[in-house]
Amino acid sequence: MNVIIFGPPGAGKGTQSQNIVNKYNLFQISTGDILRNEIKNKTEIGIKIDKLISEGGFVNDEIVDEMLKNFVTNHKYRNRIIFDGYPRNIKQAKNLESMLNSDNQSINFIFNLKVKREIIEKRILGRVVCEKCNKTMNEYLNKDEIENHECGKNFLKKRKDDNHETIVTRYDEYMKKTKPVLDYYSSRSYFHEIDGSEKIQVITTKIDHILRV
């Protein structure tokens, strides 16, 4: 089976992908990783990309598609792929489909982890780490746990990189870019919207239930 997973930064997409990869023995595809691998392994396309970058050029859609095609049609990976962060636009979505169809494959499941911005904000901004025992908690979501924490409350610190503006910008950018792709897929019978504000385990169970059918 081939799976696509969508979700804004902070929705737990990475955790869920990893879980699917482990449980169903899939390969997670990230175009950035493939690109680096092609260059490292000095493949035909890798050499082309390396030359392009060193000349100050950029990697266009055609190159990404060619690279992706090598990967998805590789007998080692075919029909065992989870796409994360791809496709990013409708053109890529259409390309991916024709690429898979021409190799007798298809997309079997699409998951969209839907989470409101306010929830992501709370998740990230409320994050506190105990400097004594390294435990991570959330001041909005684990009030009781924080109140009863064995080290006391003096060691609880917020992380510096949990900046509000960055979170909001990343979320809005993601939603704006991804909405057309989601609209493109949303009427498919294998498109599943999952409430990403639920606990990690609850989301995992829901995804599992769908994948096992």
Pairing of strands 136-138, 127-130: antiparallel
If binding is defined by CB under 5 A, does position 53 make contact with Zn ion?
A: no
CB of 141 to Zn ion, least distance (A): 17
How far, CA to CA in Å, does 177 sit from each of 34, 38, 88, 89, 192? 22, 27, 7, 7, 19
User: In this structure, which amino acid lies at residue 173?
Assistant: E
CB of 96 to Zn ion, least distance (A): 46
| 153/177 with CB nearer Zn ion | 153
CB of 159 to Zn ion, least distance (A): 15
| 56/152 with CB nearer Zn ion | 152
| 53/133 with CB nearer Zn ion | 133
Q: Three-state DSSP class for 83?
A: strand
| 157/164 with CB nearer Zn ion | 157
Binders in 120-149 for Zn ion, by CB under 5 A: 130, 132-133
If binding is defined by CB under 5 A, does position 116 make contact with Zn ion?
A: no
If binding is defined by CB under 5 A, does position 153 make contact with Zn ion?
A: no
Token representation of residue 200: 């990690």
CB of 160 to Zn ion, least distance (A): 19
User: In this structure, which amino acid lies at residue 101?
Assistant: N
| 115/128 with CB nearer Zn ion | 128
Q: Say how many C-beta atoms besides its own lie within 10 A of residue 86's C-beta.
A: 19
Number of residues that bind Zn ion (CB under 5 A): 4
* Alpha-carbon span 21 to 202, nearest angstrom: 17
Q: Three-state DSSP class for 139?
A: coil
CB of 161 to Zn ion, least distance (A): 21
Out of 47, 53, 90, 151, the residue judged to bind Zn ion by CB under 5 A: 151
* Spatial CA neighbour of 156 closest among 165, 143, 167: 143
Token representation of residue 62: 């055609």
* Alpha-carbon span 68 to 87, nearest angstrom: 11
Please list, residue by residue across 99-117, b when 16 or more beta carbons sit within 10 angstroms of its beta carbon and e when fewer do: bbeeeebebebbbbbbbee
Site string for Zn ion, 12-41 (x = CB under 5 A): ------------------------------
| 53/151 with CB nearer Zn ion | 151
Binding site for Zn ion (CB under 5 A): 130, 132-133, 151
